[in-house]
Amino acid sequence: MSHRFDGVQALTAVNLHIAPGERRAIIGPNGAGKSTLFNLIAGAPPVQTGRVWLHGRDITHLSVPARANLGVGRTFQRNNLFAGLTSLENARLAVQHRERINRHWFKPIRGFTAVHTAATAVLQQVGLAEQAHVKAGDLAYGQQRALEVALALALNPRLLLLDEPTAGMSPAETADMIRLIQSLPRDLTLLIVEHDMDVIFTLADQITVLHYGQVIHTGPPAEVQADERVQGVYLGGNR
């Protein structure tokens, strides 16, 4: 894909192939085009040049909800929670949303129990079972980010886009989030935009380095770390 904003060439002929079940990190300096790439895969803004395929299907012109229906899930860098509702209520809404985008809404309403069970399961999955009845606004920051992941999981994604999942976290919260991401099913494909190098090198199978909107390297962590060009433009002495 290539993408232009007004006078800015944000992406130039970026070509990614991400295998099912792969955990791919996108890194690069500020302004490299990471968020733009991420947003184009999620479905907004519309793709200008290029194509997006999911499991062999061309989804280039599908809307965000249509992509979600096919299994593209995402978290947002800013909290996307209902602060006045409990963790469980937030999770229930996400599960009900999944039912709607799967067009189950014209079928008999699924019972309270089924929604409750699914919502409880995603809270358990992210380690928030004990916080089920705590209002989202009263959760610790790291728990709020974990709840974000739970809401994305409630939509049953096959590809999960994580937007700086540890941004603003304390070292302890970051360690918890790394454990959470590591515990996700291995067949769930992950695409992670992340600044924290420790997170990247712990989680990623493959790393793609963007620089001025172009891919300068894709490879496993050790290879990316050793690449002179990558060190020159990005890692430098910062690690």
Ligand X SMILES: Nc1ncnc2c1ncn2[C@@H]1O[C@H](COP(=O)(O)OP(=O)(O)O)[C@@H](O)[C@H]1O
The residues of the shown chain that bind Mg ion, judged by CB under 5 A, are: 35
Residue whose CB is less far from Mg ion, 113 or 238: 238
CA distances in angstroms from 131 to 75, 82, 122, 178, listed in the order given: 20, 15, 12, 19
Say whether residue 23 binds ligand X (CB under 6 A). Answer: no
31 binds, among Mg ion, ligand X, none (CB under 5 to 8 A by kind): ligand X
Residue from the set 12, 22, 31, 219 that interacts with ligand X by CB under 6 A: 31
**Contact pick of 5, 53, 105, 141 for ligand X (by CB under 6 A):** 5
What is the smallest separation between the CB atom of 38 and Mg ion, expressed in angstroms?
8
The residue within the footprint of ligand X, chosen from 1, 10, 40, 151 (CB under 6 A), is 10
Q: Say how far apart CA 80 and CA 163 lie, in whole Å.
A: 12
Which part of the chain contacts ligand X (CB under 6 A), choosing from 3-11, 49-57, 68-76, 87-95? 3-11
Q: Which of 2, 16, 22, 35 binds ligand X (CB under 6 A)?
A: 35
Query: Which of the stretches 1-9, 117-125, 129-137, 139-147 binds ligand X when contact is defined by CB under 6 A?
Result: 1-9
